[in-house]
Structure 1
Amino acid sequence: MNLAAFKRSALIPTSALAALAVGIAAPASAGEVVQPLAHSISAAMAQDTASATYPMTPAGAAAWVDMVEKDMLGYSIRASRIYWVNATYITPDTDAMAAEIGAEGTTKSVDYALEAAKYAQVPGLDAEVARKLDMLRNMIVLPAPTTDGAAVELNEIATKLNSQYGKGKGVLNGEPINGSDIEAEMGNLDRTPAELAEMWASWHTNVGAPMKDDYARMVAIANDGAKELGFTDVGAMWRSGYDMPADDFAAETERLWQEVKPLYDSLHTYVRTKLNEKHGDAVQPATGAIRADLLGNMWAQSWGSIYPLVAPAGAGDIGYDVTDLIAAKGIDEVEMVRVGEKFFSSLGFDPLPETFYDRSQFTKPADREVVCHASAWNIDQVDDIRIKMCIKKNAEDFTVIHHELGHNYYQRAYNKQDYLHLNGANDGFHEAIGDMIALSITPEYLVQIDMLDRERVPSADKDIGLLLRQAMDKVAFLPFGLLVDKWRWGVFDGSIAPATYNDAWHDLKREYQGVTPPVARPADAFDPGAKYHIPGNTPYTRYFLAHILQFQFYKAACDQAGWEGPLHRCSFYGNEDVGKNLNAMLEMGASKPWPDALEAFTGTREMTGTALLEYFAPLQAWLDEQNKGKQTGW
């Protein structure tokens, strides 16, 4: 799946709807504030009820968790229906409904997290009850402490930061330019280095810098909240959601990065050489770091836009285009979805319910405003699964459909689990499953579903171009996917102080990505704020994990199917043994620690980048040949 599709795709969580998942930190709509009086009354009532009905004993804790799961299930179904209507029929009234249900979810998540922290201290807890209590404590991304006024202040800051980002503008040729337009222009190959530098610097300065003081205050408040929940800081709280000690998880992500770093280094060296050839030493030196604004993306996280600058000679024409194949077959938007369904049916999965086709949004209605951002939903946590898209009859949306259906089949597979287990094994699994399915759209698969004639299958000499194009998104993303949260972990634990926020950010970008700003940055700038997920308080490590796991899942499926060719050309379409094994992992949901789920499908309990390296092995060999005599690293 290319990064453009990846960025458009989203999963609507089953066990933690938007309001429950983000708690105080991100209200359902801008301006929605949890009133402190309402919160304190609710918390007091919850505490009185809990102490009377659910004593601080192992049995009391188990009964309390059971009560919470029943309550949250009922809430999630009501909330899902409201959020669906709001997303597919945007009016002031549906906005108000979504804000109201979001406020209710915020209060629930805070109250239950605080109570869970108390029950977690009870000696002799059943292991599964203890695990569920940890899930409840981790349900809030930014926890507010119980100090009077803290919840309101934290909510106001989070809302303000989101609003500042949404209203942010950069400058191009002296004229203001909004966020979506400036992102597109960063990938415009006709822009000069001076124009790229102007956009990069203005966006980071205008959007990020005003946030710095508020962000530091938000960190301080949220850390107090994390301590009330029993964590040393917010970063430790985030890392504790992976069925291992927080520090062990940090070490695990670094181990994975070191596995795949040689491939990234080879790609970096090759791309740097091509940029040097185009721009000259004065703009991009032949050695050292790459100028961040030259890579076709504001954050240098995806390099696909500049693929034409680095493409091997003759590699661009692969002999077919999926968009053209869709047109030639006369496939409409709904039929594109049915083609995706057939992929899963061929693996032995049950057909989608007819309600899926009756209730999903496949195209943009002409009579109302809707959210077109692709997403997968399970409204009733059983079988009312849907996707929400504004499908275009092109290759990108053909891929996105397969990705979103991957989420839906995962949701349906684990629908018999307890409420708190209605989710992926860890937060990287859901995205990885969607992307694993998207990886399966190979020429062989297109032949098998009668969309491509076998004589038009690209020859092996086209593989390098195909792999390089994928690597410009999937491999280029890896270090950025890791460093965003490494920076935040340092901010939350205090090792990165406000005075060094910006220097630490660019130090990490240079260390991991090998990129450098196009212009000098003052130490009091706040360039991290120019990336949505920082002011939006969205944990980011899940995307790094998904980029590793998707290849691990894909290789496991290909091995089980007995595929003997190059991994990147594998198709396991029609193999019911693969489907049976895959379902064994999917149906576990979050009921077991993620190593158990991983082992159920791949046979190993360890995440590894070796499958990604095998997938791109022909490309790395080619890159290393091209890079002979060049300095690797920065």
Structure 2
Amino acid sequence: MVLSRSGKRSAIQCLVQSLCVFLNFDILNIFGVQAEPNLQGINTNLGDALQFLREFDSEASRLCFTVGTSQWTYATNMTDFNKRRMVEEQTIKAKFERITWNKASSFDWSRITDPMARRHLKLLLIGKRGGLPDEKYNEIYHLISEMKDIYSNVRVCPFDDNYTNNRIYCDIDLEGVSKIMEKSRNPLELAYIWKEWHDKAGPPMKNKFMRYIELANQAAKINGFQDAGEEMRYAYEDRNFEDEISESFQRLQPLYKELFTYVRKKLFKRYGPSVVRLEGPLPAHILGNIWAQEWSHIEEIVTPYPDIKTIDVTHEMRRQGFTPLRMFQMSEEFFTSLGLKPMPPEFWKDSMIEKPVNRKVQCSASAWDFCNRIDYRIKQCTEVGMQDLISTHHEMAHIQYYLYYAKQPYLYRNGANEGFHEGVSNAISLSVYNPTHLHLVGLFNNDTIDYETNIKFLFGMALKKVAYASFAYLVDLWRYEIFRNGVSNMNSDWWELRTKFQGIVPPITRNEQHLDPATKRHIAADIPYMKYYVALLLEFQIFDALCTAAGHTGSLHNCDIYRSREAGRLLSDALSLGKSKHWKEVLRLLTRGKTDKISADAMIKYFQPLYIWLKVQNKNEKIVGWITKQEDAALFQPLVSSNSNQNLTADNYIINIIIVYSLLPIFRK
């Protein structure tokens, strides 16, 4: 067996850690006890702790309201004045969080007798960076702010297939980049835009990111962790978390590889051997997304049964005279049919459900909790169509979560774990976006769905969900590795993981001058990403549980929980707990005692008909999955010393350009 560079580092570290386990406190893990972070504090007085927590709850709720109000004001009216006000409020909140950390760290929370107070104190300390000295605390948040600014200000030049070198209007932002990646079918343009975005987003923030890694690790060590990655994982309060997540990913791999193989065959037919290598990984630029994280925008190229119409009720909605308000009312009726709560009057009064014509706004859909147990809103530039109808139900599911855990203390007004909020909302979306429900609400006229339509529907869902699983899984695996092993090979480590888990390679040569992971905003903005993988699995687990409660029989993808009071009761019981119980208890409640583990079983169950179909389609393929050759690894891991990396990269880039130009006559035909 030949180990990669990252594999050798991991093996050495594993040996060292094993010795530490044998010699030190981690031996407790053998007996099922999770080692707790070692934060210093001497105050064990319960009265002092309760008084501090009461004051925190009141002040944190007040600040949440003022900061949320300033953020809403800016998001719905993007003026410089409103932005300054928002930044001022956010600065005040950051100072409050620092003071809170210092006060909480004065307690020895592990010896506080009241279990709720003990958990409150722990939540206030873990994942925070208040232990850093003032100058370093300010520095890390300035670094994050600067990286976010770099990211938001990236602009790329348009592709010019006439090669006039006219680069005057280099003003394409991320939204424009995304539209080109979604709609263009010119591989030269796609490769160009991919390179422009990755070259302009990553390198300018590399030095800042390296310093951020250093400071984040320092803060984590102050909190009693080996590195910041370990602290990120600790948020799930489960020593078996990594094993469960890894097991779930392995369970999904056969399905992913079947989908990958079928998609590659279709892309090979479209683009030919100059772009796609049969049996090999796929280049990242032809999958309809700048990160190749989900593939729904190339559906018309790769879909089976192209003569069968994709389920889309947009035309029918417009024919029936739907408006954004009616879409929101339909969404509310979905939840009240389950016995859940109607939207409060403040929601209808203050939400932004259409794009204003007289001011600049952020149009990305979002649900808002203003932390005063009264004010809940949705911000969405709604257009009449199926996509926004699903989005409306999704965002309103977040509001339902807010409404049900509103009576909890401030710290418990959140999802049971980092993935629960999205998991619940996406589970509702699965019930709304299926032929059964769309027929029931009068938007889809087929009450019986034939086999081919079912497969086409599931295939489209797999391009969104199954394709995304690998990306969602590996982003934080990379981050954990960087926190643990250092920053010397960040970019090649990124592409090693993407090749291993996704079967994706860059379209052109990359080197350590690049920072391709930072082209994803969550990396630049210090936002954990594993929660999206967790949410993806929970989405199907929760949906399966609600369908069982509703008495559904038959294929899971045809389940609709609409009008099921039993499903509504189960859901409301879980939502009302917020974060007050360990997420495993909430999952056990939802599954009525069947499991408390994050699992891929429900997702596999949902896609089982498609999986069987894909295996038949791929039965004559030599390789299901991908074989990586030296030429693939050479794209991101040049086999030369670091001193000559620059020259090799430059040479490869020139070669790439020559190849591209040589292919121009082919593409122009």
TM-score interval (norm. to shorter):
0.7 to 0.9
Counterpart-to-counterpart distance in 2, 1:224 and 1:151:
10
The answer as to 2:602 corresponding to 1:611 is: yes
Match of 1:522 in 2: 511
The number of residue pairs the alignment matches comes to 573
Return the TM-score normalized by structure 1.
0.87
Give the 5 Å matches for 1:471-510. 471-493=462-484, 495=485, 497-510=486-499
Per-residue deviation, residues 511-560 of structure 1 (Å, max 9, x unmatched):
11111111121233211122211111111111111111111111111111
Aligned 8 A contact 2:140 2:212 in 1: yes
The whole-number CA distance in structure 2 between the counterparts of 1:256 and 1:627 is 23
- In the alignment, does 2:566 pair up with 1:566? no
2:588 is aligned with 1:599: yes
For 2:442 and 2:400, the matched residues in 1 are separated by 24
Q: 1:108 aligns with which of 96, 102, 108?
A: 96
Q: Please state whether the residue corresponding to 1:574 is helix, strand or coil.
A: coil
* 1:181 maps to 2:176: yes
Tell me the equivalent position of 1:310: 302
Structure 1 residue 616: Cα displacement: 0.6
SS at match of 1:271: helix
Alpha-carbon separation, structure 2, partners of 1:315 and 1:224: 58
1:577-626 CA-partner distances (Å, limit 9, x unpaired): 11001111010000000011111111221111111111111111111111
Q: Is the 8 A contact 1:315 1:462 kept in 2?
A: no
Does residue 541 (structure 1) correspond to residue 530 (structure 2)? The answer is yes
- Aligned equivalents of 1:570 and 1:473: distance in 2? 19
**1:263 pairs with one of 247, 255, 260:** 255
Aligned to 1:341: 332
What does residue range 176-575 of structure 1 map to in structure 2 within 5 Å? 176=170, 177-191=172-186, 193-245=187-239, 248-314=240-306, 316-318=308-310, 321-441=312-432, 442-455=434-447, 458-493=449-484, 495=485, 497-575=486-564
Match of 1:330, SS state, is coil
Alpha carbons of structure 1 residues 63 and 439: separation in structure 2 relative to 1, 3 Å: same
Residue matched to 2:138: 152
The reply on whether 1:131 has 2:123 as its aligned counterpart is no
In the alignment, does 2:60 pair up with 1:66? no
State the identity %: 32
After superposition, the Cα gap between the structure-2 partners of 1:148 and 1:445, relative to the gap in structure 1 and judged at 3 Å, is closer
1:316, CA displacement in angstroms?
A: 4.0
Quote the Cα distance in structure 1 between the aligned partners of 2:238 and 2:487: 29
CA distance in 1, matches of 2:423, 2:274: 40
User: In structure 1, what is the equivalent of residue 155 of structure 2?
Assistant: 169
- Kept in 1: contact 2:184–2:190 (CA 8 A): no
Residue 430 of structure 1, CA deviation: 0.3
Q: How far, CA to CA, are the matches of 1:325 and 1:556 in structure 2?
A: 31
Q: Is the 8 A contact 1:315 1:464 kept in 2?
A: no
Change (3 A) 1:316 1:181: farther
- Once the 2 structures are TM-superposed, how far is the Cα of residue 148 of structure 1 from its aligned partner? 4.5
The answer for unaligned runs of 5 or more in structure 1 is 1-50
1:146 corresponds to which letter in structure 2?
L
CA separation in 2, counterparts of 1:106 and 1:304?
A: 39
Q: Which amino acid aligns with 1:94?
A: N
Q: Distance in 2 between matches of 1:207 and 1:94?
A: 27
Distance 1:451 1:283 in 2: 41
Structure 2, gaps ≥5 residues long: 1-40, 627-669
Moved more, 364-373 or 576-585: 364-373
How far residue 122 of structure 1 moved from its aligned partner, in angstroms, is 5.4
Distance change >3 Å, CA 574–CA 502, structure 1 → 2: same
Cα RMSD over matched residues? 1.9
Q: In the alignment, residue 153 of structure 1 is paired with which amino acid?
A: E
SS at match of 1:187: helix
Q: 1:96 to 1:167 in 2, by over 3 A?
A: closer
Return the offset for 1:304: 0.8
The secondary structure found in structure 1 opposite 2:111 is: coil
CA spacing shift, 1:88–1:148, aligned 2, 3 Å:
closer
| Paired amino acid for 2:150 | Q
Q: Which amino acid aligns with 2:467?
A: A
8 Å CA contact 2:244–2:597 kept in 1: the answer is no
Q: Name the larger-Rg structure.
A: 2
Moved over 6 A (4+): none
Query: Whole-Å Cα distance in 1 between the matches of residues 211 and 614 of structure 2?
Result: 46
Classify the secondary structure of the residue corresponding to 1:238: helix
Q: One-letter code of the match for 1:268? A: F
Distance 1:194 1:446 in 2: 40
Name the structure 1 match of 2:612: 621
Q: Is the 8 Å Cα contact of residues 325 and 451 (structure 1) preserved in structure 2?
A: yes
Deviations for 1:152-189, whole angstroms, at most 9, x for unmatched residues? 32233222211111122344236444322122212224
SS in 2 for 1:534: helix
| SS of equivalent residue, structure 2 residue 151 | helix
User: For residues 549 and 438 of structure 1, do their structure 2 counterparts lie closer, same or farther at Cα, with a shift above 3 Å needed?
Assistant: same
Aligned AA (1:301): Q
Per-residue CA deviation, residues 225-247 of structure 1 (Å, 9 max, x unaligned), is 222233322212211111223xx
Following the alignment from structure 2 to structure 1, what is the Cα–Cα distance between the partners of residues 338 and 374? 19
Q: Measure the CA separation in 2 of the matches of 1:381 and 1:253.
A: 35
Map Cα deviations across residues 389-422 of structure 1 (whole Å, 9 max, x no partner): 1110111100000000100001101111111100
Kept in 1: contact 2:245–2:598 (CA 8 A) = no
TM-aligned CA distance change 1:122 to 1:550, over 3 Å: closer
Give the CA deviation at 1:194.
2.4
Distance 2:477 2:439 in 1: 43
Q: Structure 1 residue 93: deviation in Å?
A: 2.8
TM-aligned CA deviation for residue 357 of structure 1? 1.0
Corresponding position of 1:47: none
Indicate if the aligned counterparts of 1:162 and 1:536 stay in contact, CA closer than 8 A: yes
Amino acid of the residue matched to residue 514 of structure 2? A
Shift of residue 104 of structure 1?
0.9
SS at match of 1:263: helix
Q: 1:114 touches 1:229 (CA, 8 Å); kept in 2? A: no
Per-residue deviation, residues 464-503 of structure 1 (Å, max 9, x unmatched): 111111111111000110111111111112x2x3220011
Q: Which amino acid aligns with 1:184?
A: K
CA distance in 2, matches of 1:315, 1:413: 45
Secondary structure of 2:301's counterpart equals: helix
Q: Which moved more, 1:77-86 or 1:591-600?
A: 77-86
Secondary structure of 2:417 counterpart: coil
Question: How far 1:130 moved relative to its partner?
Answer: 2.3
Q: Does 1:87 align with 2:75?
A: yes
